[in-house]
Amino acid sequence: MMIAVEPVAPPSIEELYREHYRSLVRLASLLVDDVATCEEIVQDAFVALHRRGLDGIEAVRLPAYLRSAVLNGARSQLRRRQVRRRLAPAPDPTSAPAPDAAPLLGPDRQAVLDAVRALPDRQRDVVVLRYWMDLGEAEIAATLDIAPGTVKTHARRGLDALAAHLEDLR
């Protein structure tokens, strides 16, 4: 009965992959410069989901689960880079844009992006999910596994911090 089944991946995770891979890479790219690293982060998230099994997660929760895994992966990348910068104040060669990197954003947009990346973890996650994914409060709450009210607090604080920071830059 199951001879024809493909040996490696059950179709459900493949479908998820086909549907969400690109948008999840873009999500990671909001936090991490290097696109290849972003792809790795997303790949890891899918592998972890596969290993864990899709069983215990409701189907509707799967995209949120993946988003959260990608945000977590991106966060540890960010942190690693911050540590590297602190240990070696000299310009980090990996932060220079690779030849095939995404087009440069221009100083203004880059400043905003850098400021978002510098936010505390939760505020950054909320800001990204809200202003890039256009997720509603409930969806953000579900993704990050926090209360809806907390989402609002993080969003407001994040936005305030960004406003202050960007004002300083002017």
Interface positions with other proteins (CB under 8 A)? 2-5, 7-10, 12-14, 17-18, 21-22, 25-27, 29-30, 35-36, 38-39, 43-44, 46-47, 50-55, 102-103, 105, 108-110, 112-113, 116, 127-128, 130-132, 134, 136-137, 148, 152, 155-156, 159, 162-163, 166
Minimum CB–partner distance for residue 85 and other proteins (Å): 20
Task: Write out the two tokens for 15.
Answer: 């479908």
Q: List the structure tokens of 66.
A: 């993946």
Token output for 49? 């989901």
Nearest to other proteins of 83, 138 (CB atom): 138
117: part of which helix (H) or strand (E)? helix 107-117
Q: Which is nearer to other proteins, 10 or 83 (CB)?
A: 10
The residues near 44 (Cβ < 8 Å, ≥ 6 apart) are 69, 73
Q: Tell me the residue type at 4.
A: A
